[in-house]
Amino acid sequence: MQANAKITPSTLSVKDHPWRIAWSRDKCSLCGQCTAVCPVNAIELGVFRKRIVDVEIHAAAQPGNVNKVYHGIRQRTDAAYHCIGCGMCAMVCPNDAIMPYHNDEADKLRFHLSQGGQAERRGGRRNAPAGILDQIKFTRISMLTDPALDAGRHEFEMRTLLGRLLPPEENMKRVREHGWIPPVREIYPLIIGGMSFGALSPPMWEGLQMGVAYLNEEMGMPVCISTGEGGCPPRLLRSRFLRYVILQIASGYFGWDEIIHAIPEMKVDPCAIEIKYGQGAKPGDGGLLMWHKVNDLIAAIRGVPKGVSLPSPPTHQTKYSIEEAVAKMIQSMYMAWGFRVPVYPKISATSTSLAVLNNLTRNPYAAGLAIDGEDGGTGAAYNVSLDHMGHPIASALRDCYLNLVRLGQQNEIPLFAGGGIGKNGNLAANAAALIMLGASGVQVGKYVMQAAAGCLGSETRRCNICNIGLCPKGITSQDPRLYRRLDAEDVAQRVVDMYVSFDTELRKIVAPLGRSTSLPIGMSDALGIADKAAADRLQIQYVV
């Protein structure tokens, strides 16, 4: 700081930032790669002046001092250029000379991100690393009477159903009378949740699609993927791979002009249609694609002008209420594909989830309900929505499942849970816990970005700049200079790795529980938790 510099309320020091760059003058070769790679220009070449006391070994000369200059890396302290802790500088440094560290106390930066009255927006998840899902244990291990199964050698049926199931008697009647039976898809219970083309870069999207196609066609795993709200590339719409794709429609209807026009040319039906009413990361708020990312390609696919922010409204504007929206939109979507494609809504977990579910139980077309919990990720949202809005997935899902049990419809409207599954890397354990609490399957997004593309974001405020198109890994960027860092083939390979290892882990969980003939949906007697209040709330065993 200059001696005469003004100290304003928002003048911060390195101490006030969440991340502090540690740089070693000894190791640094001044190659400049770190400053080049930093997505937010938080570091720059610094010129440092240093006084050195110069004492001659011979007493003849008078001691003195010399002023020298050296060059190095300086962390900028302006709030607009704050370090996001992504660590790309450490990744590219040839000499391991630089690394961001968390500061030792809560930062002061957070009080100054509102420059110009602009509330903080970011990507990622709620900044809260812990969660109840990781506390749930699988306690009902088969021992003497009922020997555990062999996860490696026995046959396992780990698929689930997406679609409205009729009561068995009614289904039999319709089979006999050749009546209409709602379409049902037999799918893998781990679904790649909605991440739009636009939110994700082209190689990321392509890599996910390739991975999903490979899993289906080479590995025999009927994995499906939701498009998110951003339309679908025209060639995919007209390809046989569409059958693995869940087309999402949300309140902005982005890309649906293209989709509707492609219907007559579709070779196969899509897996399902997901109507997004809400998202766990920003419940009650609409989708958001910030202008940084709306380039020619994205604008073309979405059918919008380029270079403008694309906020979807919080609700479907053409509809009066969610009940009406659900009923009418489900009906319209069924009609568009000749009643051959399951259509289900996705909502954010809320204390009113039950009201939506009850509504669906009386709607004979609703093919399921996806519920997204507060720990879900997003490409862009207001920080306040991310950190403070929403409902945990575990109890929302459990309430809904138990409500279906009371109604006797637990096999009829499959529930899909999302939001923070695998947040701490425990994907299979979290997924299995939710399945045993009553989910027919789970949706993951952020985990896939982390596992398949090396997303650096975390719940301790690392990176999370998906919103501004500067993703240092090229996952959520539309800038070719950034997304060329990501190879679609590599992403596809990692998607396959992720699924195959998930499958092994899922078997390693269900085999000791003596389950293999069907996915253990609602097998709550297998679960335990060392938290009495949580155990009571979720109606599972309290174990200490």
The DSSP string of 105-159 is S--SGGGGTTGGGPPPEEEE--S----SGGG-EE-----SSSPPP-TTTS-----
Tokens at residue 358, please?
A: 């009850």
Return d(Cα 165, Cα 182) in angstroms, integer: 7
523 near other proteins, rule: CB under 8 A: yes
Question: Which CB, 78 or 525, lies closer to other proteins?
Answer: 525
462 near other proteins, rule: CB under 8 A: no
Q: How far is the CB of 524 from other proteins (least distance, A)?
A: 6
User: What 3-state DSSP class applies to 248?
Assistant: strand
User: In this chain, which of 59, 66, 106, 144 binds other proteins, going by CB under 8 A?
Assistant: 144
Q: How far is the CB of 432 from other proteins (least distance, A)?
A: 14
With CB under 8 A as the contact rule, which of the stretches 261-269, 302-310, 375-383, 511-519 interacts with other proteins? 511-519
Contact between residue 493 and residue 454 where contact means Cβ atoms under 8 Å apart: no
368 near other proteins, rule: CB under 8 A: no
327 near other proteins, rule: CB under 8 A: no
Spatial neighbors of 455 by CB under 8 A, at least 6 apart, are: 446, 449, 463, 471, 473, 475
Cα 402 → chain centroid: 26
1 near other proteins, rule: CB under 8 A: no
Q: Are strands 441-444 and 190-192 parallel, antiparallel or unpaired?
A: parallel
Rounded to 5 degrees, what angle do the CA atoms 316, 318, 324 make?
A: 75
Q: How far is the CB of 463 from other proteins (least distance, A)?
A: 41
Question: Which CB, 304 or 513, lies closer to other proteins?
Answer: 513
Interhelix angle 488-510/427-437, rounded to 10 degrees, is 50
187 near other proteins, rule: CB under 8 A: no
User: In this chain, which of 399, 515, 529, 538 binds other proteins, going by CB under 8 A?
Assistant: 515
Q: How far is the CB of 412 from other proteins (least distance, A)?
A: 9
Question: Which CB, 166 or 455, lies closer to other proteins?
Answer: 166
Tokens at residue 230, please?
A: 């951003």
Q: What is the SS3 string spanning 333-351?
A: HHHHCCCCCCEEEEEECCC
Q: How far is the CB of 512 from other proteins (least distance, A)?
A: 10
Return d(Cα 422, Cα 444) in angstroms, integer: 8
Using CB under 8 A, which residues numbered 82 to 141 contact other proteins? 140
517 near other proteins, rule: CB under 8 A: yes
513 near other proteins, rule: CB under 8 A: yes
User: In this chain, which of 37, 262, 336, 407 binds other proteins, going by CB under 8 A?
Assistant: 407
Q: How far is the CB of 415 from other proteins (least distance, A)?
A: 13
Site string for other proteins, 148-177 (x = CB under 8 A): -x----xx-x-x-x---xxxxx-xx--xx-
Q: Tell me the site size for other proteins, rule CB under 8 A.
A: 43
Q: In Å, how far are 154, 167, 371, 523, 528 from 440, measured between CA atoms? A: 22, 17, 11, 11, 20
Our separate counts of H helices and E strands in the chain read 16, 21
Q: How far is the CB of 188 from other proteins (least distance, A)?
A: 12
Question: Which CB, 507 or 515, lies closer to other proteins?
Answer: 515
Nearest residue to 196 (alpha-carbon basis) of 333, 312, 331, 322:
312
497 near other proteins, rule: CB under 8 A: no
Q: How far is the CB of 169 from other proteins (least distance, A)?
A: 5
User: What 3-state DSSP class applies to 395?
Assistant: helix
User: In this chain, which of 186, 296, 324, 497 binds other proteins, going by CB under 8 A?
Assistant: 186
User: In this chain, which of 223, 272, 327, 521 binds other proteins, going by CB under 8 A?
Assistant: 521
User: What 3-state DSSP class applies to 255?
Assistant: coil
Q: How far is the CB of 138 from other proteins (least distance, A)?
A: 12
524 near other proteins, rule: CB under 8 A: yes
360 near other proteins, rule: CB under 8 A: no
* C-alpha atoms less than 13 angstroms from C-alpha of 248 in its C-beta half-sphere: 26
Contact between residue 285 and residue 331 where contact means Cβ atoms under 8 Å apart: no
With CB under 8 A as the contact rule, which of the stretches 60-68, 189-197, 422-430, 508-516 interacts with other proteins? 508-516
Question: Which CB, 91 or 181, lies closer to other proteins?
Answer: 181
Sites of contact with other proteins (CB under 8 A) = 140, 142, 144-147, 149, 154-155, 157, 159, 161, 165-169, 171-172, 175-176, 181, 184, 186, 405-411, 513-518, 520-525
